[in-house]
């Protein structure tokens, strides 16, 4: 099993995604002799998982069933254990596009955090690229190394435990792109410039506060970066549901009532289609936004080394 290569069969030691529904799924490490509890009953790894194909429908001990999915960066972002706040697919998609990443690219990242963006970057630059990721917190760095090894991508990533603002990324003039997600990114702009290739490398900085963005942009200008621009990515989710609305009064009944020969006092005219139309309702499908949602994640600042 690898996050960058698809495997057909579930093996001992794999990371798999147990899918109960679109709003309910979780990762599990497949181990011989282990069981996993779900609301539909027990899943026995030895008999229910190992040797089965990914995507299989597995019946639990209570009679309910789940699907076992092959892990991808998208599914991992939705289900990973949170050691820090993470980036989600909306921001990740813009980052990979605006940094112009492709297979073979060399990327520097700080900090690693929970590894949400890291897995997406690794898949994008595979099979010949490489990710150099720096994490200040020692335990988070060690956990990231462990996850990359379990997920079969350790040959595509180098994890370093150090302060990027003081010690940089540990590489010079080789990176096609640099990503910063740290409290004071302006202090690391010089090291990012040193890590980037001689000309044309791209940089992105993620910050939740506009004051951080202002200081970062000033630092980028001081170090000669060009094409500096900041984006705010807003996600708005809609639910599709059936709603009922009254048919509007467009004045048609009034025109018909005033037409020659129409007698409103005549009982036969009281039940005319026009009269019923004004009091009716119609049902149709509509997209309705959620009452509460996350409206702001942060600001993405991009620039080019000149």
- For residues 64 and 42, what is the distance between their CA atoms, to the nearest angstrom? 10
Res 257 pLDDT > 60: no
Mean pLDDT over all residues of the chain? 90
Domain locations in the chain as residue ranges: 9-71, 75-234+295-305
Report the percent of the chain where pLDDT is more than 70. 90
- For residues 238 and 286, what is the distance between their CA atoms, to the nearest angstrom? 9
**Same topology for domains 9-71 and 75-234+295-305, yes or no?**
no
- Domain 75-234+295-305 sits in CATH at 3.40.50.150
- Domain 9-71 sits in CATH at 3.10.330.20
Res 130 pLDDT > 80: yes
pLDDT tens track for 22-40: 889 999 999 999 999 999 9
What torsion, rounded to 10 degrees, do the Cα atoms 174, 176, 179, 180 define?
Answer: 40
Question: What mean pLDDT do residues 232-257 have?
Answer: 78
Question: By the 8 A CB rule, do 108 and 192 touch?
Answer: yes
Q: Is 116 annotated as a binding residue?
A: yes
pLDDT tens track for 154-204: 999 999 999 999 999 999 999 999 999 999 999 999 999 999 999 899 999
Strand intervals (E) in the chain: 15-21, 24-29, 35-38, 41-44, 57-59, 65-69, 106-110, 130-135, 157-161, 177-180, 202-207, 225-232, 238-246, 281-289, 299-305
Q: How confident is the model at residue 253 (pLDDT cuts 50, 70, 90)?
A: low
Q: Is 117 annotated as a binding residue?
A: yes
Of the two residues 282 and 212, the one the predictor is more confident about is 212
Question: What mean pLDDT do residues 275-294 have?
Answer: 75
Q: Is 13 annotated as a binding residue?
A: no
Q: Is 181 annotated as a binding residue?
A: yes
Q: Is 249 annotated as a binding residue?
A: no
Res 278 pLDDT > 50: no
Closest CA to 180 of 156, 215, 147, 145: 215
Res 1 pLDDT > 90: no
Question: What mean pLDDT do residues 107-114 have?
Answer: 96
Res 129 pLDDT > 80: yes
């Amino acid at each position: 099993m690898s996050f960058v290569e698809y495997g057909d069969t579930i093996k001992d030691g794999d990371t798999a995604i147990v899918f109960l529904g679109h709003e309910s799924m979780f990762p599990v490490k497949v181990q011989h002799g282990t069981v996993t509890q779900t609301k539909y009953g027990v899943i026995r790894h030895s008999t229910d998982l190992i040797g089965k194909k990914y995507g299989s429908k597995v019946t639990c001990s209570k009679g309910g069933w789940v699907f076992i999915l092959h892990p991808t960066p998208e599914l991992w972002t939705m289900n990973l254990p949170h050691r820090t706040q993470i980036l989600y697919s909306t921001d990740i998609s813009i980052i990979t596009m605006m940094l112009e990443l492709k297979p073979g690219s060399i990327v520097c990242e700080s900090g690693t955090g929970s590894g949400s963006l890291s897995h997406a970057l690794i898949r994008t630059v595979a099979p010949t690229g490489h990710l150099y990721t720096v994490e200040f917190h020692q335990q988070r760095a060690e956990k990231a190394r462990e996850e990359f090894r379990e997920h079969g991508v350790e040959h595509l990533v180098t994890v370093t435990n150090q302060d990027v603002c003081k010690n940089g990324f540990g590489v010079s003039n080789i990176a096609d792109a640099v990503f910063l997600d740290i409290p004071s990114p302006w202090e690391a702009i010089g090291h990012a410039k040193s890590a980037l290739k001689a000309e044309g490398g791209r940089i992105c900085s993620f910050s939740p506060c506009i004051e951080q963005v202002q200081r970062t942009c000033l630092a980028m200008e001081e170090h000669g970066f060009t094409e500096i621009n900041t984006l705010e990515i807003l996600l708005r989710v809609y639910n599709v549901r059936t709603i009922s609305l009254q048919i509007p009064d467009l004045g048609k009944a009034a025109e018909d009532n005033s037409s020659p020969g129409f007698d409103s006092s005549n009982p036969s005219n009281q039940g005319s289609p026009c009269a019923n139309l004004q009091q009716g309702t119609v049902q149709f499908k509509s997209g309705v936004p959620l009452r509460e949602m996350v409206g702001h994640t942060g600001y993405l600042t991009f620039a080019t080394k000149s």
